[in-house]
Amino acid sequence: MIGYVLRRVGGAVPLVLGVATIVFFVMNLAPGDPSSLYAGPGVSPQALEEVRQNMGLDAPVHVRYIRWMGAMAQGDFGHSLARGQPVRDVIRDLLPNTLLLSGTALALAFLAGILIGVLQAVRHNTWIDSSLSGASLFFYSIPSFWLALMLILVFSLYARNVWGWPVHFPASGMTSVDHAWMTPWEQVKDRAMHLVLPATSLALVLAGGIARYTRTSMLEVIHQDYIRTARAKGLPEWRVIAGHALRNALIPVVTVFGLYLPLLFSGTVFVETVFAWPGMGKLVVDAIGQRDYPVVMAGALVFAVMVVVGNLIADVLYSVVDPRIRHG
Amino acid sequence: MTLLEVQDLRTWFAKEEGEVRAVDGVSFHVGEGEAVGLVGESGCGKTVTALSIAGLVPDPPGHIHGSSSIRLRGTELVGLPERRLRRFRGKEVAMVFQDPMSSLNPVRTVGSQISEVVRLHGRLGAREAKRRTVQLLREVEIPDPDTRYREYPHQLSGGMRQRVMIAMALSCEPSLLVADEPTTALDVTIQAQLLELLSGLRRERKMGLLLITHDLAVVAELCDRVVVMYAGKVVETGRVKDVFSQPAHPYTRGLLGSLPRIGSGRRRLAPIVGGVPDPAGWPSGCRFHPRCPHAWGRCSAELPSLRRRGGRAHGEEWTVRCWLEEEPLEPTPDVGKGP
Amino acid sequence: MLRPLGREVGAPTSAPRRPKRGGVLLAILLPGFPQFLGGRILVGGFALLLWASFVGIGSIRWERVVAAPGGGWDERAALLTLLCGLMAIWTWSIRDATLGSGVARTDGSWARFAREFGRNRVASIGLGAVGISYLAALLAPFLAPFDPAFQGDLVVGRLSAPSGAHLLGTDQFARDVFSRLLYGARVSLSIGFIAVAISMTIGTLVGAVAGFLGGWWDAAIMRFVDMVISFPRLVLLITVIALFEPSLFVLVVLLGLTQWPLPARIVRGEVLSLREREFMVAGRALGFRAPRLIFRHLIPNTLAPVTVAATLGIGDTIILEAGLSFLGLGIQPPTPSWGTMVADGRNHLLGAWWVTTFPGLAIVLVVLSFNLAGDGLRDALDPRLRR
Ligand SMILES: Nc1ncnc2c1ncn2[C@@H]1O[C@H](COP(=O)(O)OP(=O)(O)O)[C@@H](O)[C@H]1O
Ligand SMILES: [Mg+2]
């Protein structure tokens, strides 16, 4: 088991190196020297040359590449121009927020998706199955940024201003302005309320896809011989499903976990932007607007590493649900 | 009272290409502690018969006709609500399936899969159930049962897995064991060991056994009576020693003919020509007539009924479904009588 | 047989019908109607409806139609679409009514595939909806009540709610949302189509080469594919776009260049399984060279899964393009695109929900149609997957 995990970690290292390489070459070989972005339009050639020297851009590409990789390995992402802070500190402040949002969304998505998929498979070819199939495909087809805006429209703006519902959710930020003056319990509640809409808009889109996978996988499993064995034991149907079918059906769904991470983080970029959620996604989008070049590069790298780490988690989960891999 | 009495069992499947009459009016019985062999080529409805007895026919597409009757010690199982049927499964009627590779849940330990049944029907605590499970593993002659308890199916060989299946089946002391080709998927050497084990355990527990197989030698060795099926119908039933020494139905003769005989000097190979017809449209009349070497006019027109054969000398119940069988011309209802 | 996907010669499944004079006449007057009466309600009804709307558009917008040849490229394309569409429906309906549907129904693999697909109602409707959205985009110059850039009275006409004059209301510059929606469809649909075409071409080539060569090459290519797939595509795109001036061309190329790993993986899998099949072994034994084997035999046999991937990929790409435009990194104003339109309404959500809602709904419906059609294609190609 431990050997398996170590092997997987070993396999992930070249992946991260490769991704860092791609990021570097995309930024350095593309037309338009980053220095011109950095210095802004209309600066004198001398000033530009100075910026180039400061950024070390006058060195040949392979030297810069090695320098860059070395800096990355030490966790030195350079200095953010727009924020006047080391990029490392910016990431340290914002990454947890992104992890909170995407983690919550992922948990919600898998919970809902698996439940729906199982229900569909158990009620295969009934109206429940077909209507849930339609709903899954519908949510799967929704752009997350639009869903986020629609949720704001209904559950925040109209709920508060037009319909006057007793419950409505905040439309932006992680906390209310008076957060600091709240009791600890109120603070937790405040954070939770702020999390509801962004997490839901991310989760619904993912849940649609997960439900589709779970349904297919569950239908496959239900026809296996060992399910017949479980029934022959005299187990009630819900125990056959929960105790025997579900865990087998989850094996391919775990793969989806790894596949959906890029999708999740793409969604995070939009949802953070819409909800003004102070996280990595909003950071990168803002940095592009501000031409904050080191932040863009570091942000891209952080997202890639998050996917790699997520895949690592998926591999470990894989071996948890499937003993054949653990002992293989 | 007879242990199991199956009367006029009809299990049909609704398929796109029409109604598949996989089992179409099958009747037989198994006495207390009796071993009955159910034989026939593959595709003739043996597995479906077994599944029907345990109430495991997938519905849809399968359906057991309301006129059918399956009685276990007098209790009618057909039409019984699922909730009550469950109390029989695993407890009164246990099953061993053909393929031990796919019949065990790959993600759960062997021990948990057996103790689950023990706890379900025996209402034992966790520790008690484990003790019982280890004891069962020992009874089916699995070496080092304490270690095996914690292992997963993929860590066991095919023979070991089938022993696990048997342990699981025996765990609640069922009165009837239905074994559907339990050794077909295994090596020949292991087959013999396993069958010996099975028959020993059966005798010890005085358990009824319905053994489905196409290995007639096994039937001859282990079973008291035999039921021969063809195309969803019973064509011949009787005591093994009667049927095997003087097979009456041409199909039974064909089956026995394809068996290499030791002692008769030469190998007598007279296999039946052709294959089992498509169950979506059985042949008219006697379903065997297109392949029967003795078929005559009546065979393709009318379905013969099961008739009792021979006098008292041949025991109570040796029945054959064939137009060649003229004597003793005392039609029995389409039902096997109790002993 | 060298190619399993080849057309098989088979007997017609039903005897050809005798042409009915009345049917042909009806087909000329109301194409689709004889088919509708003949029991093919979905196909006939669709054709009839399409024909009716073409005729309707042509007569209501008669001035624009006659002015079209002298207008810009948009107008000429719209006119061409209108004429070709009418001709196509007529030809099909008359031919079908004359020959009877029996003749066309040979048992070739494409015919079988089409029938399998046609049996799937929902997927057929999805495909129909996809077709309609492309038609609507092409016919936008005739359909749109206003010029998409036309600004009404900024004081009175700004952010006005849906009404008879403005079906879907107006935006903050008093532009007609419905007209912009129609023109925006051109951007979304063409980008989706072209980008996916690029990525499928690259992906197919890379996958076929990797699978065909095998060994070291295969391992290297597939490692690279794994790497690109594990990168969030949106992050890669915004990183790269930050270096360029966003434009339609850049967007299409970048979207196309970032999607190929998925089809590459699919094609490689197919090729690996095809490689050892008898027709390939036979080809090698006959001494065919690698390019010929790849292009003539391997790639045609992977077209089916690639088509499915492409159909589903267009949906993803449309969403991605809309997202980039939403962030301001895609299509630049004043060109209308669905993503920018959603962004336009962001700050007026409470007062003018329609500005954001309708373009987003358009995205959802189009993507949903593509996904329905894609699911149907997959099921029709591989009935084993259907449940
Ligand atoms: N789940 C099912 N769905 C449809 N048809 C079935 C199903 N199970 C069995 N059948 C039909 O029943 C026939 C008999 O099958 P079976 O009982 O497995 O034969 P045997 O066990 O004697 O080899 C098969 O030919 C098949 O057509
Ligand atoms: Mg069988």
Which range, of A32-36, B76-80, C343-347, averages the lowest pLDDT? A32-36
The verdict on whether omega for the bond into residue B60 sits within 30 degrees of 0, i.e. cis, is yes
Mutate to test the interface with A, among B105, B133, B166 (most CBs of A within 10 A): B105
Atom in ligand 1 nearest the alpha carbon of residue B48 = 17
Q: Which two structure tokens, joined as six digits, stand for A130?
A: 């077909």
Q: CB-based contacts of C287: which residues, under 8 Å, 6+ apart?
A: none
* Nearest CB to C371; choose among A141, A266, A304: A141
Instruction: Identify which of B9, B11, B21, B47 to mutate to test ligand 1's pocket (most ligand atoms within 8 A of the CB).
Output: B47
Sign of CA dihedral A186, A187, A188, A191: positive
Query: Cβ B108–A244 below 8 Å, yes or no?
Result: yes
Q: Please provide residue A277's backbone torsions phi and psi, each rounded to the nearest 5 degrees.
A: -85, 120
Q: What is the CA radius of gyration of chain C?
A: 24
B165: chain A residues, CB-CB within 8 Å? 229
Q: Which two structure tokens, joined as six digits, stand for B91?
A: 């407890």
Q: What pLDDT score was predicted for residue C40?
A: 78
Which range, of A50-54, A241-245, B63-67, averages the lowest pLDDT? A50-54
Distance from CA of A249 to the nearest CA of B (A): 10
Q: CB-based contacts of C75: which residues, under 8 Å, 6+ apart?
A: C64, C67, C68, C69, C141
Alpha helix stretches (DSSP H) within chain A: 2-29, 34-39, 45-54, 61-73, 87-122, 127-140, 144-151, 184-222, 225-232, 237-239, 246-275, 280-289, 293-321, 323-326
Mean pLDDT of chain A: 86
DSSP result, A230-281: HHHTT--HHHIIIIIIHHHHHHHHHHHHHHHHHHHHHHHHHHHHHHT--SHH
B335: confidence class by pLDDT, cuts 50, 70, 90: very low
Residue A238 reports pLDDT greater than 60: yes
B55 alpha carbon to ligand 1 midpoint, in Å? Answer: 15
Q: Answer for the pair A192, A101: CB distance below 8 angstroms, yes or no.
A: no
Ranges B216-230, B240-254, C31-45, C132-146, most confident: B216-230
Which among C207, C242, C213 is positioned nearest to C225, based on CA atoms?
C207
Could you say which residues from 349 to 378 on chain C have a Cβ atom under 8 Å away from some Cβ of chain A?
A: 349-350, 353, 356-357, 360, 363-364, 367-368, 371-372, 375
Q: Which amino acid is at C30?
A: L
Q: Answer for the pair C350, A160: CB distance below 8 angstroms, yes or no.
A: no
Residue C173 reports pLDDT greater than 90: no
Q: What are residue B12's DSSP bridge partners? A: B63
A30: chain C residues, CB-CB within 8 Å? 240, 243-244
Q: How many CB atoms lie within 10 A of CB C199?
A: 24
pLDDT by residue (tens digit) across B274-293?
A: 777 887 888 888 888 888 87
Could you say which residues from 213 to 272 on chain C have a Cβ atom under 8 Å away from some Cβ of chain A?
A: 223-224, 226-236, 238-244
Query: Cβ A232–B152 below 8 Å, yes or no?
Result: no
Q: What pLDDT score was predicted for residue A200?
A: 94
Q: What pLDDT score was predicted for residue A277?
A: 93
**Touching subunits for chain A (3+ Cβ pairs under 8 A):** B, C
Nearest CA in chain C to A157: C350
B37 alpha carbon to ligand 2 midpoint, in Å? Answer: 14
C347: confidence class by pLDDT, cuts 50, 70, 90: confident
Mutate to test the interface with A, among C133, C230, C253 (most CBs of A within 10 A): C230
pLDDT by residue (tens digit) across C155-165?
A: 777 777 787 77
Which among B210, B226, B213, B182 is positioned nearest to B72, based on CA atoms?
B210
Mean pLDDT of chain C: 79
Using CA atoms, how far apart are residues A157 and A169, in angstroms rounded to an integer? 9
Q: Which amino acid is at A92?
A: R
Q: What pLDDT score was predicted for residue C53?
A: 84
DSSP result, C209-277: HHHHH-HHHHHHHHHHHHHHHTS-HHHHHHHHHTTS---HHHHHHHHHHTSTHHHHHHHHHHHHHHHTS
* Nearest CB to A244; choose among B89, B105, B152: B105
The vertex-B95 CA angle with B94 and B100, nearest 5°, equals 140
Q: Which ligand is nearest to the CA of B180?
A: 2
* Nearest CB to A311; choose among C230, C315, C328: C230
pLDDT by residue (tens digit) across A26-43?
A: 777 655 555 665 666 666
Q: Answer for the pair B240, B223: CB distance below 8 angstroms, yes or no.
A: yes
Query: Cβ A233–B120 below 8 Å, yes or no?
Result: yes
Q: What pLDDT score was predicted for residue A41?
A: 61
Q: Are 3 or more Cβ–Cβ pairs between C and B shorter than 8 Å?
A: no
Distance of CA B306 to the CA centre of its chain: 19
Which among A289, A274, A279, A268 is positioned nearest to A146, based on CA atoms?
A274
B97: chain A residues, CB-CB within 8 Å? 225, 228-229, 232
Residue C338 reports pLDDT greater than 70: yes
* Nearest CB to A234; choose among B121, B152, B165: B121
Residue C210 reports pLDDT greater than 70: yes
Query: Cβ A149–C323 below 8 Å, yes or no?
Result: no
Q: CB-based contacts of A189: which residues, under 8 Å, 6+ apart?
A: none
Residue B272 reports pLDDT greater than 90: no
Which range, of A170-174, B43-47, B72-76, B258-262, averages the lowest pLDDT? B258-262
Which residue did the predictor score with more confidence, A255 or B265? A255
Q: What are residue C230's DSSP bridge partners? A: none
B39 alpha carbon to ligand 1 midpoint, in Å? Answer: 15
A248 touching chain B per CB within 8 A: yes
Q: Answer for the pair A28, A64: CB distance below 8 angstroms, yes or no.
A: yes
Q: CB-based contacts of B25: which residues, under 8 Å, 6+ apart?
A: B8, B9, B10, B232, B233, B334
A141 touching chain C per CB within 8 A: yes
The vertex-B317 CA angle with B312 and B322, nearest 5°, equals 105
Residue B330 reports pLDDT greater than 80: no
Q: What pLDDT score was predicted for residue C5?
A: 38
Q: Which two structure tokens, joined as six digits, stand for B128?
A: 């008690």
Residue B173 reports pLDDT greater than 80: yes
A234 touching chain B per CB within 8 A: yes
**Mean pLDDT over residues A130-143, rounded?**
92
Residue B175 reports pLDDT greater than 60: yes
Q: How many CB atoms lie within 10 A of CB C267?
A: 30
Using CA atoms, how far apart are residues A109 and A201, in angstroms rounded to an integer? 10
**Mean pLDDT over residues B235-258, rounded?**
84
Using CA atoms, how far apart are residues B208 and C78, in angstroms rounded to an integer? 81
Query: Cβ B103–A322 below 8 Å, yes or no?
Result: no
Q: Please provide residue B25's backbone torsions phi and psi, each rounded to the nearest 5 degrees.
A: 90, 55
B109 alpha carbon to ligand 2 midpoint, in Å? Answer: 27
**Mean pLDDT over residues B247-255, rounded?**
85
C176 secondary structure, DSSP code = B
Pick the residue whose CA is nearest to atom 9 on ligand 1.
B48
Which range, of A34-38, A207-211, B276-280, C179-183, averages the lowest pLDDT? A34-38
Which among A267, A281, A251, A308 is positioned nearest to A15, based on CA atoms?
A308
A17: confidence class by pLDDT, cuts 50, 70, 90: confident
Q: What pLDDT score was predicted for residue A28?
A: 72
A139 touching chain C per CB within 8 A: no
Residue C207 reports pLDDT greater than 70: yes
**Mean pLDDT over residues B322-336, rounded?**
54
Q: What pLDDT score was predicted for residue A112?
A: 95
Atom in ligand 1 nearest the alpha carbon of residue B232 = 14
Residue C298 reports pLDDT greater than 90: no
**Mean pLDDT over residues A67-89, rounded?**
83
**Touching subunits for chain C (3+ Cβ pairs under 8 A):** A
Pick the residue whose CA is nearest to atom 4 on ligand 1.
B13
Residue A12 reports pLDDT greater than 50: yes
Mean pLDDT of chain B: 84
Q: What pLDDT score was predicted for residue A92?
A: 92
Which range, of A221-225, B145-149, C347-351, averages the lowest pLDDT? C347-351
Which residue did the predictor score with more confidence, C21 or B144? B144
Distance of CA B101 to the CA centre of its chain: 20
Q: What pLDDT score was predicted for residue C200?
A: 92
Q: What pLDDT score was predicted for residue B314?
A: 56
Which residue did the predictor score with more confidence, A29 or C251? C251
Distance from CA of A174 to the nearest CA of B (A): 41
B180 alpha carbon to ligand 2 midpoint, in Å? Answer: 7
Q: What pLDDT score was predicted for residue B266?
A: 45
Q: How many CB atoms lie within 10 A of CB A286?
A: 18
Q: Which residues line ligand 1 (CB under 6 A)?
A: B 13, 15, 20, 22, 40, 42-48, 58, 61-62, 279
Using CA atoms, how far apart are residues A301 and C273, in angstroms rounded to an integer? 36
Distance from CA of B86 to the nearest CA of A (A): 4
Nearest CA in chain C to A18: C227
Q: What pLDDT score was predicted for residue B260?
A: 53
Q: What pLDDT score was predicted for residue B311?
A: 58
**Mean pLDDT over residues B299-314, rounded?**
74
Q: What is the CA radius of gyration of chain B?
A: 21
A124 touching chain B per CB within 8 A: no
Q: CB-based contacts of A44: which residues, under 8 Å, 6+ apart?
A: none
The vertex-B164 CA angle with B163 and B170, nearest 5°, equals 90
Mutate to test the interface with B, among A226, A238, A319 (most CBs of B within 10 A): A226
B184 alpha carbon to ligand 2 midpoint, in Å? Answer: 10
Q: What is the CA radius of gyration of chain A?
A: 24
C7: confidence class by pLDDT, cuts 50, 70, 90: very low
A123 alpha carbon to ligand 1 midpoint, in Å? Answer: 24
